[in-house]
Amino acid sequence: MAKYGNLVGDIASRAQWIKHAGCSYRNRRNNAMPALDHIRRYHDELTAIRHDLHIHPELGMEEHRTSALVAEKLESWGIEVHRGVGGTGVVGVLRNGTGNRAIGLRADMDALPINELNDLPYKSQTPGVMHACGHDGHTTMLLGAAKYLAETKNFSGTVNFIFQPGEEGCGGALAMLEDGLFDRFPCDAIYGMHNAPGIELGKYAIRPGASAAGGAFFDIVVHGKGAHGARPEASIDPVLIASHITAALQSIVARNITPKEMAVVSVTKMIAGDAYNVIPEVVTLSGTARFFSRAVAEQIENAMRRLAEGIAAGFGATATLDWRFIFAPTINDPERTRDIADAAAGIVGDEHVDRDREPGMGSEDFSFMMEKVPGAYILVGNGPGYTPHNPRYNFNDETTPYGAALYAEVVERGLPK
Ligand SMILES: [Zn+2]
Ligand SMILES: [Zn+2]
């Protein structure tokens, strides 16, 4: 994101930019009011929804109030609603015309276990829980698109509005898939987006192919033999063995993975004994790995198991690896990437769409949905501000129309009348 830092202008130039963006509609294909202008007419209503969600954040898979609010809004706009898809997930279905193609639009709804440090009139009223990743904004942007599409119906086919629970490492995407998401609501293409502080308001960024890392968590339990700290000869010291394993794990990325691939292995926890004079029986090493393909993930897992078991055996101890695949790598389908980038360009002009952004090491569980249906995940500029997961982060309400309009535009282009 840092490369966008110098593009972030002051308030005056931003206003100038918004004005400028308004000029790019002249060449539209029909005379209908552009989605961005249309959605701006209910910007206040959307902002009120966003603030309400921000006041009442809910942790992953516990989004009961949030999903009830989403379902009520969709129903009030005449959209067919399916509750309880994958726990607290909601799917809205809107059909129009005779088109037999379907597009899925996805937003996440969960908050984080963070105590909000912002001083806002709509600050979180739940201590220790906060919308620190902007999923309140994502939910609002998708609701904005739903209201617009239900009102204008300038498309032919089916739109599935997918409101996903538990994105923050809680397995929400997989829960919806296991609940038959794409069997019950088949889609030919799916699109998602994340707000990006540091990218200027009214700009978008995406890349085809691998765009965000996949992630796994691991625990390695080393079983040795406990003894008095003064009598090491009576022990099989798991602290020493775990230290050797920790050092050896750093050889995986350096020596096993081709330099053409990006990967990370980090040991972040080492839980050992409790006393100065006791060599413990057991040590646990934990951490995370990041990768851009399932093949590399498998390579890391295999090397980790080989090293942990082999090193422990060499010392006369045992080690077991528990490897948990949390996020698939985010792989954007090239065609869908072009489609949503073109839609973005139709809203703000091609010069404000970065089609080749740098891949990020953060993970995103929309990736699991994109393993099933070709899709694309785009970043929408949130202007200057704190990064997501910071206790002072806040979603920018000025971003809402840009996100909602892009969802709408990609539907109108993908499902033409
Ligand atoms: Zn997050
Ligand atoms: Zn997020």
What are 194-249's pLDDT values in tens digits? 999 999 999 999 999 999 999 999 999 999 999 999 999 999 999 999 999 999 99
Q: Are 43 and 51 in contact (CB under 8 A)?
A: no
Q: Report the pLDDT value the prediction gives residue 32, as an integer from 0 to 100.
A: 65
Starting from the CA of residue 192, give the closest ligand.
2
**Residue 35 Cα, ligand 1 centroid: separation in angstroms?**
28
**Residue 334 Cα, ligand 2 centroid: separation in angstroms?**
23
Collect all residues with Cβ–Cβ distance below 8 Å to 280 and sequence separation of at least 6: 224, 226, 238, 239, 272, 273, 274
Radius of gyration, CA atoms only, the chain: 24
Tokens encoding 12: 């005056």
The total of other beta-carbon atoms located within 10 Å of residue 316's CB is 10
**Residue 330 Cα, ligand 1 centroid: separation in angstroms?**
14
pLDDT in tens, 145-154: 999 999 999 9
Q: Report the pLDDT value the prediction gives residue 33, as an integer from 0 to 100.
A: 80
Tokens encoding 286: 């934990």
**Residue 142 Cα, ligand 2 centroid: separation in angstroms?**
14
**Residue 133 Cα, ligand 1 centroid: separation in angstroms?**
5
Q: Which residues of the chain have pLDDT under 50?
A: 1-31
Mean pLDDT taken over the chain: 93
**Residue 48 Cα, ligand 2 centroid: separation in angstroms?**
21
**Residue 109 Cα, ligand 2 centroid: separation in angstroms?**
9
**Residue 401 Cα, ligand 2 centroid: separation in angstroms?**
18
**Residue 53 Cα, ligand 2 centroid: separation in angstroms?**
15
**Residue 412 Cα, ligand 1 centroid: separation in angstroms?**
29
Starting from the CA of residue 112, give the closest ligand.
1
Q: Report the pLDDT value the prediction gives residue 157, as an integer from 0 to 100.
A: 98
**Residue 364 Cα, ligand 2 centroid: separation in angstroms?**
7
**Residue 132 Cα, ligand 2 centroid: separation in angstroms?**
8
pTM of the model: 0.85
Starting from the CA of residue 136, give the closest ligand.
2
DSSP string, 378-409: EEEE--SSPPTTSTT----GGGHHHHHHHHHH
**Residue 388 Cα, ligand 2 centroid: separation in angstroms?**
7
**Residue 381 Cα, ligand 1 centroid: separation in angstroms?**
16
Q: CA-to-CA distance for 171 and 260, rounded, in angstroms? A: 30
Q: Are 173 and 366 in contact (CB under 8 A)?
A: yes
**Residue 9 Cα, ligand 2 centroid: separation in angstroms?**
24
pLDDT in tens, 380-411: 999 999 999 999 999 999 999 999 999 999 99
Q: CA-to-CA distance for 150 and 162, rounded, in angstroms? A: 15
Q: Report the pLDDT value the prediction gives residue 150, as an integer from 0 to 100.
A: 98
H-helix or E-strand spanning residue 14 = helix 11-21
Q: Return the percentage of the chain with pLDDT > 70, whole number.
A: 92
Q: CA-to-CA distance for 28 and 59, rounded, in angstroms? A: 41
**Residue 342 Cα, ligand 1 centroid: separation in angstroms?**
26
Starting from the CA of residue 168, give the closest ligand.
1
CA atoms within 13 A on the CB side of 62: 9
Of 400, 410, 407, 409, nearest in space to 195 by CA: 400
